[in-house]
Amino acid sequence: MNELIGRVFSFQDHVFPSNSDLYGKLARDGQSPKALMISCADSRVVPEYIVQAAPGDLFVCRNAGNIVPPYSQANGGVSSTVEYAVMVLGVRDIIVCGHSDCGAMKALCKPGSTDNMPNVAAWLRHSNAALKVAEEAYPHNHDEADRARILSLENVVAQITHLRTHPSVAAAIARGELALHGWYVDIHAGEVLGLDGETGRFSPLTADRPLPVALAAGQRLAAETLQEAAE
C-alpha cells in the first residue's frame, strides 16, 4: 500500500501539474469520452493503458469476467453505466474486452470451484451461454488453457449479445449512432484481437488492415419500408 500512496504523491506533485490545462478543461467543460469499455477487473488488464487514453477519453466499467447481464428492470452497476454512457455522454462506440488467463473464465470451466462464493457463482451464470458453446461446439481434446481461451473469446460474443438487449443500446443502434466492438487482450503476447461480426471470428488489430467490428454503426430500422410507403 505504501508504494501506491507514493504514486498518489507523484500524481499530485508531477502528473497533475504537467497536465493542468487538460484537467482544467475537463473540470470546466465536463467529460465527453469517445467510447465505453467494459473490461475485466483483472489488475493486469488496464483499459486506459491498452488504448493509451488520456483523461476524458474513455468511460470504463470493470467487473469479474467483463460481463454484461441481459437487461432487466432490476438496477445494476453495469446496466446503469451503459445507460448513462449512451444516453447522457453520447458515446459512439462500446467495447467489450476479454483477456487471456482470465480467472473468472477458468473458474467457470471448473464445476464446483465457486461453491463457497455464492455471489461469484451467481454472477458467472451470465456467461452460461458462452460455456454451452465452448462445451458443445468445439472438440473435447483441448487442454485446460485452450478451454479457458475458447471460453474467454466466446464470452465476449455472449456479452455483446446481452448488450443489445439494453433499450438505450438497441435504440442507438437503430438510429445508426452506435457501434459495438469485441476485443480480446493476450496478456502474454501484448496482442489485441478484434471480433469481426460478419465472420464471427477474432483477428489481430493491426495498423495496416481495417478494424474488425462486431456491429458497425448504421441505421437499422426494421419497418423502414413501411414508413417510406406511408410517406
* pLDDT digits 0-9 by tens, 52-82: 999 999 999 999 999 999 998 667 899 999 9
Output b/e per residue, 160-177; b: 16+ Cβ within 10 A: bbbbeebebbbebbeeee
- At 6 the pLDDT is 87
* pLDDT digits 0-9 by tens, 145-185: 899 999 999 999 999 999 999 999 999 999 999 999 999 99
The pTM (predicted TM-score) of the whole model is 0.93
Q: Do residue 11 and residue 73 come from a single domain?
A: no
- At 36 the pLDDT is 99
Q: 230: pLDDT confidence band, cut at 50, 70 and 90?
A: low
Q: Do residue 206 and residue 119 come from a single domain?
A: yes
d(CA 46, CA 51): 9
Q: 140: pLDDT confidence band, cut at 50, 70 and 90?
A: confident
- Interhelix angle 144-163/128-136, rounded to 10 degrees, is 130
- Look at residue 137 and tell me whether its pLDDT is greater than 70: yes
- At 202 the pLDDT is 98
Q: Do residue 111 and residue 62 come from a single domain?
A: yes
**Cβ-proximal residues to 42 (8 Å cutoff; 6+ apart), any chain:** 99, 102, 103
* pLDDT digits 0-9 by tens, 189-208: 999 999 999 999 999 999 99
Q: What is the spatial order of strands in the sheet that 58-63 belongs to?
A: 58-63, 35-40, 93-99, 179-186, 191-196, 201-204
Q: Do residue 225 and residue 125 come from a single domain?
A: yes
- At 81 the pLDDT is 98
Q: Do residue 160 and residue 100 come from a single domain?
A: yes
Give the mean pLDDT of 134-140.
Answer: 90
Q: Do residue 165 and residue 145 come from a single domain?
A: yes
What is the DSSP pairing of strand 93-99 with strand 191-196?
A: unpaired
Q: Is 14 exposed, middle or buried (0-12, 13-18, 19+ CB in 10 A)?
A: exposed
Cell of 144: 485446460
**Domain count along the chain:** 2
* pLDDT digits 0-9 by tens, 86-106: 999 999 999 999 999 999 999
Q: Do residue 22 and residue 60 come from a single domain?
A: no
Query: What helix, strand, coil percent values describe the chain, rounded to 5?
Result: 45, 15, 40
Give the mean pLDDT of 209-231.
Answer: 81
Mean pLDDT of the chain: 94
Q: Provide the domain limits for residue 213.
A: 32-230
d(CA 29, CA 61): 22
